């Protein structure tokens, strides 16, 4: 029994040591992690079923960015069978509104994900334009560049989970 518990202790120690080392690997290799000019942050790692999720678009550039005037973000659900994220049906828009301007700083959106009561691993996706004309829909804004930012994944729990 003593040998088994000692082996267990060594295994846990190695696991903890490795988990502490992984985030530091770039620093040990002499690499600096560059901050993305535009990123998407989620308020929590897990949400109860039916709760609102905060999606924060962070613009760390010196210029405004432009989001679609309708469906400014989408949610994707991890599909175990395909081993990839797939889009959830987006919010329905009757017409495309003018692009939403996000000046340097951030803008927060709130959404209640519809996942049918099942546990779901989700992420938020934001497509944005840079160098766009203001006052028109994003599809007509003649942006100099269009890019996409993804949040880290988060979990929406089943109604019976806590």
Query: Which pLDDT score is estimated for 10?
Result: 37
Q: Which is nearest to 132 in space by CA: 71, 64, 80, 77?
A: 64
Contact 60, 36 (CB under 8 A): yes
Contact 107, 57 (CB under 8 A): yes
Query: Which pLDDT score is estimated for 35?
Result: 62
**How many separate domains does the chain show?**
2
Do 47 and 79 sit in the same domain of this protein?
A: yes
Do 67 and 93 sit in the same domain of this protein?
A: yes
Structural domain boundaries, residue 136: 35-156
DSSP class of residue 95 equals S
Query: Which pLDDT score is estimated for 160?
Result: 56
Do 14 and 60 sit in the same domain of this protein?
A: no
Query: Which pLDDT score is estimated for 1?
Result: 47
DSSP class of residue 24 equals G
The CATH number covering residue 118 comes to: 2.60.40.2300
Do 53 and 91 sit in the same domain of this protein?
A: yes
pTM listed for this prediction = 0.73
Contact 131, 37 (CB under 8 A): no
Query: Which pLDDT score is estimated for 49?
Result: 87
Do 133 and 73 sit in the same domain of this protein?
A: yes
Query: Which pLDDT score is estimated for 95?
Result: 79
Q: 94 lies in a domain?
A: yes
Do 50 and 82 sit in the same domain of this protein?
A: yes
CA distance 88 to 125: 11
Regions of the chain short of the pLDDT cut 70: 1-35, 117, 159-162
CA angle 98, 133, 92 (to 5 degrees): 25
């Amino acid at each position: 029994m003593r040998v088994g518990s000692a082996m267990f202790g060594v295994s846990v120690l190695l696991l903890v040591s490795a988990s502490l080392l992984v985030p530091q690997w770039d620093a040990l290799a002499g690499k600096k992690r560059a901050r993305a000019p535009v990123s998407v942050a989620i308020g929590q790692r897990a949400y109860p079923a039916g709760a609102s999720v905060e999606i924060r678009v962070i613009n760390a550039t010196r210029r405004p960015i432009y989001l679609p005037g309708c469906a400014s973000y989408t949610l994707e659900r991890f599909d175990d069978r395909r081993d990839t994220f797939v889009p959830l049906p987006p919010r329905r828009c009757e017409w495309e509104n003018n692009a939403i301007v996000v000046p340097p700083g951030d803008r927060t959106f709130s959404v209640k994900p519809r996942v049918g009561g099942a546990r779901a691993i989700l992420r938020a996706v934001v497509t944005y334009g840079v160098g766009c004309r203001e006052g028109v829909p994003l599809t007509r804004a003649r942006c100099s560049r269009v890019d996409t930012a993804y949040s880290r994944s988060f979990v929406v729990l089943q109604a019976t989970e806590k």
